Amino acid sequence: MPALVVLTEQLLSPVPGGTGRYTRELAAALAATAPDGWSVRGVTARHRDLTSAKIPGVLGPHALALPRRALTLGWEYGLPLWPGGDIVHAPTPLAPPARRRRGLVVTVHDTVPFTHPETLTPRGAAWHRKVIRRATATADAVIVPTQAVADDLARHAPGQAPVHVIGHGVTAAEPTPVEGLPSGYVLAIGTVEPRKGLDTLVAAMAGVPRDLVVVGPQGWGEVDLTALADRHGLPRARLRVLGRVTDGELAAVLRGAAVLAAPSRAEGFGLPVLEAMAAGVPVVHSDAPALVEVAGGAGITARRDDPADLARALTEVLDRPDLAADLVARGRSRAATFTWTGAAEAVWRLHVDWWANSRREGS
């Protein structure tokens, strides 16, 4: 029976982020849509507790012999430690070296290490550039979430691996009440780190008479939202930082938002934009190409790193109910075209085609 191994290590990262959500949702959808005779198994590095990497329908998780840091270094330098299975899907660029007669598909979420390296740690940017270039040179296929990423890969990391654009989906969850939320607030979702442009948003909000609610774990870069609020004149009483929340709590927070702000400097997809549109929340996003692509004209665009233009766009949505209603309608229609089932089926076509071709070549 052919086996697909999905590397679920990102779920055990201190800050899983959007790539963690992608890993979990795609793996679950792959298990739910598996062709007859196929199995799907999760594999991680060695950890004391693998609970966070358990996914409904996915076998395992199975832990490899090496802990995360050693496994990362080993694969970076070409250690031939295959995680099992006939085909490996790496939902992030953390992937083993390609192996003869074994399939390898790697998802590359963005090209930030090439286009905006200053928004990552120097070590992180260098590591990602190295493993992304190896993926495009040696993997059997590379998946990217948007055409914007595909175009950037062609410029910065061209290789022989075919590149396929397969978008994300929307996670449906029952709302779990969150106490103490203000009314009609501006919402931002994402890891609190330099790339997300939250400094621009805080500066913009000083001139927008609404509360700002921020959802997401603290990432690298020591972005201090309270200090930014003090610096830009946003009263602390109008800033609410929720940190990491459950899917149910996120659904509730989305339900209460008047508008989602996505001011990122760079993205590969921008899942919060899609989730907000699906929830009936109008969206204001930056002019980062991937966000423009995902929104598909169903949001309002503001220039990156321009607080005045972001304030203008937010105020336009907040002050014009007719515009907000139109954005909601267009956003729902746009979001309906993205599903995890559809993504999984597209990914399965790659795996099954590789398997069929490999059997023909081996016969």
Q: How many CB atoms lie within 10 A of CB 167?
A: 21
For the stretch 93-133, pLDDT in tens is: 999 999 888 999 999 999 999 999 998 889 999 999 999 99
Q: Is residue 175 part of a domain?
A: no
Q: Is there a single domain that holds both residue 85 and residue 152?
A: yes
Q: Is there a single domain that holds both residue 252 and residue 269?
A: yes
Any residues with CB less than 8 A from the CB of 73 and at least 6 apart, and which?
A: none
User: How far apart, in whole angstroms, are the C-alpha atoms of residue 181 and residue 242?
Assistant: 10
Q: How confident is the model over 133-144, as a mean pLDDT?
A: 97
Q: Is residue 176 part of a domain?
A: no
Q: Report the share of the chain in percent with pLDDT over 70.
A: 99
Q: Is there a single domain that holds both residue 329 and residue 343?
A: no
Secondary structure E strands in the chain: 3-7, 39-46, 59-67, 87-90, 103-107, 141-144, 163-165, 185-189, 212-215, 239-243, 257-262, 283-286, 300-302
Q: Which domain holds residue 122?
A: 3-169+339-362
CB-side exposure of 50: number of CA atoms within 13 Å?
Answer: 19
Hey, which residues does 42 pair with through a beta bridge? 6
**In this structure, are residues 44 and 12 in contact, taking their beta carbons and an 8 Å threshold?**
yes
User: How far apart, in whole angstroms, are the C-alpha atoms of residue 178 and residue 185?
Assistant: 14
Q: Is residue 275 part of a domain?
A: yes
For the stretch 297-306, pLDDT in tens is: 999 999 999 9
Whether residue 9 has pLDDT greater than 60: yes
Positive or negative CA dihedral for 248, 250, 338, 141?
negative
User: How far apart, in whole angstroms, are the C-alpha atoms of residue 308 and residue 205?
Assistant: 9
Q: Is there a single domain that holds both residue 162 and residue 21?
A: yes
Q: Is there a single domain that holds both residue 160 and residue 44?
A: yes
Whether residue 271 has pLDDT greater than 80: yes
Q: Is there a single domain that holds both residue 159 and residue 222?
A: no
Q: Is there a single domain that holds both residue 246 and residue 258?
A: yes
Confidence of residue 362 (pLDDT cuts 50, 70, 90): low
Q: Is residue 177 part of a domain?
A: no
Q: Is there a single domain that holds both residue 122 and residue 198?
A: no
Q: Is there a single domain that holds both residue 158 and residue 267?
A: no
Q: Is there a single domain that holds both residue 104 and residue 16?
A: yes
Confidence of residue 292 (pLDDT cuts 50, 70, 90): very high
Q: Is there a single domain that holds both residue 219 and residue 309?
A: yes
Q: Is there a single domain that holds both residue 219 and residue 145?
A: no
Q: Is residue 178 part of a domain?
A: no
Structural domains of the chain, count: 2
Which 3 state secondary structure label does DSSP give 169? coil
Q: Is residue 102 part of a domain?
A: yes
Q: Is residue 115 part of a domain?
A: yes
For the stretch 52-88, pLDDT in tens is: 999 999 999 999 999 999 999 999 998 889 999 999 9
Q: Is residue 276 part of a domain?
A: yes
Which CATH number do you get for residue 205?
Answer: 3.40.50.2000
